[in-house]
Structure 1
Amino acid sequence: MNQGAPIMDDEKARSLKTITTVVYALQAASFLLGITFIVAVIINYVKKSDVQGTWLESHFLWQIRTFWFGFLWSVFGLLTVFMIVGYYVLIANAIWIIYRIVKGWLRLADSREMYVTAQGNYLKG
């Protein structure tokens, strides 16, 4: 965990971890109902200030980046679907999104930060 992170009371920490879990679940559900991907990122942005400076911030950044990069690659894939390459882009994007959801959810279950943090890494969320 982040050694410089502020200490949260147990109830608040549990609540924020639950919200983070819900966002991963919504992202996973987006393969069945696409709108949940948008709902998930809205929750990320609404609750982002609550997790700022905690180990959960890295999960929020991970989830937000998953949304935006996944969205952009989906748009590119859809625009190029008339060429065969678009199908490959969409398949690769789906695999990448699944990887990010699983990786993040597993690290969250172990109460571990993601690799990305607000300090010093690319694409600050």
Structure 2
Amino acid sequence: MANDIVTVEPDESLRTWGWVSYILHLIVAVGAVLPGAQASVVLLLIALVIDLVKRDDARGTWQKSHFSWRIRSVLWAGILYVLTSWLWLLFLVPGWIAWGLISLWFLYRIVKGMVRMNAGRPMEPADVV
């Protein structure tokens, strides 16, 4: 039937995009923690672009905090990786430890966001920083 148009509620569409982004972030985060399982930075960039593009669509919804959460997680992890990169050049083991801790922190943030999104809850304002 030509008139049977399926519409997706904006909230569900945002939730779907949010899950796509969280799963891409999770793949990258797990790859960063497990030796030899490095995921491509391309996946991280795809997820970041999704979050940047869809964040404005989420304005006024509980899901906006999740888009901001993921964007900030990537930006902070990137800054921390850059700030500690000199450790790799001077001291191999401290660099490995620093990057391991940053990767675990990133994984924690992604899992925490996924748990809250699954429960239909926004990230708390104190969490979004």
1:35 is displaced (CA, Å) by 1.6
Summarize the alignment of residues 1-125 of structure 1 with structure 2, pairs less than 5 Å apart: 11-30=9-28, 31=31, 32-82=39-89, 83=91, 84-116=93-125
Larger Rg: 2
Query: 2: distance between equivalents of 1:79 and 1:20?
Result: 34
CA gap of 1:10–1:55, structure 2 versus 1, over 3 A, is: farther
Query: 2: distance between equivalents of 1:122 and 1:44?
Result: 14
Query: 1: distance between equivalents of 2:22 and 2:16?
Result: 10
Unaligned runs of at least 5 residues, structure 2: 1-6, 32-38
1:23-81 Cα shifts (integer Å, max 9, x gaps): 11111122222221111111111111100111001101110110000111122233321
Structure 1 residues 43-52 or 70-79, which shifts more? 70-79
Contact in 2 for aligned 1:61/1:116 (Cα 8 Å): no
Q: 2:13 is matched by which residue type in structure 1? A: S
Structure 1 residues 27-36 or 55-64, which shifts more? 27-36
RMSD of the alignment, in Å? 2.1
What TM-score comes out, normalization by structure 2 length? Answer: 0.78
Unaligned runs of at least 5 residues, structure 1: 1-8
Number of equivalent positions: 112
How high is the sequence identity, in percent, across the aligned residues? 29
- Aligned partner of 1:5 in structure 2 is none
Q: 2:57 is matched by which residue type in structure 1? A: D
* Helix, strand or coil at the partner of 1:54: coil
